[in-house]
Amino acid sequence: MHIDISSGLLSSARYLASPNCDERPDDKDVSLIVVHSISLPPNRFGGDGIDQLFTNQLDPQEHPYYKEVYEMRVSSHLLIRRDGSLVQYVPFHMRAWHAGESSYRGRDRCNDFSIGIELEGADDIAYETVQYRQLNEVIRLLCQTYPGLSHERIVGHSEISPGRKTDPGPAFDWRLVDEQLA
């Protein structure tokens, strides 16, 4: 597994381009990793819902919850599915629309300088061991590729959007990330 610096793509990920991205204000400023969780429909895993949401193709008739989110224009750089497979939606050097209204250490607009990694999961359902393994490997590669990143600059969505977001939630075991990177 490696990151192609010219394309911003992870070699082992299936690439499915999201239109929900744009240029970063400073493409050399990649200095934060934001860990998220997502499942569509909520608390159900597998299927194409996440791919459809990030590519603006979610059918609101397919599930009642989709009526609430199908018009959202969001994306993430990478998804780690329950089985450990990887899907990349936005090249790492581009700005994905994953953090929304957010702030990290007094700096607003985290999308400008962060990489968003989604774990297929839910706040209160344990994540799979293979997801932690993949997350750790991806973080290692990102830290090697982007000098502004380190294991000290990894946060949950809830930390940069408190009161608005709760993911990756209490079921996410941060010790499994820290132990692997230390």
Q: Kindly report, residue by residue over 70-89, the tens digit of the pLDDT.
A: 999 999 999 999 999 999 99
Q: Is 118 a catalytic residue?
A: yes
**CA dist., res. 113 & res. 27, Å (int):** 8
Q: How does residue 181 score in pLDDT terms, banded at 50, 70 and 90? A: low
100 Rama class: left (phi>0) / alpha (psi -120 to 50) / beta: left
Q: How does residue 28 score in pLDDT terms, banded at 50, 70 and 90? A: confident
Number of domains forming the structure of the chain? 1
Read off the tokens for 178.
């820290």
| pTM, to two decimals | 0.95
CATH (domain of 136): 3.40.80.10
* Residue 85 and residue 118 in contact, taking contact as beta carbons nearer than 8 Å: no
**CA dist., res. 125 & res. 92, Å (int):** 28
State the virtual CA torsion across 6, 84, 60, 44 in degrees, nearest 10: -160
Tell me, what's the pLDDT at 151? Answer: 84
Which of 118, 152, 159, 179 is an active site residue?
Answer: 118
Looking at the chain, the whole-number percentage of residues with pLDDT higher than 90 is 94
Read off the tokens for 177.
């990330």
Tell me, what's the pLDDT at 182? Answer: 46
Q: Which domain holds residue 46?
A: 3-181
pLDDT tens-digit series, residues 51-71: 999 999 999 999 999 999 999
Tell me, what's the pLDDT at 178? Answer: 67
Please count the CA atoms within 13 angstroms of the CA of 24 that sit on its side-chain side: 22
pLDDT tens-digit series, residues 84-128: 999 999 999 999 999 999 999 999 999 999 999 999 999 999 999
pLDDT tens-digit series, residues 132-165: 999 999 999 999 999 999 888 999 999 999 999 9
- Cβ-proximal residues to 104 (8 Å cutoff; 6+ apart), any chain: 32, 110, 114, 155, 159, 160
* Residue 83 and residue 47 in contact, taking contact as beta carbons nearer than 8 Å: no
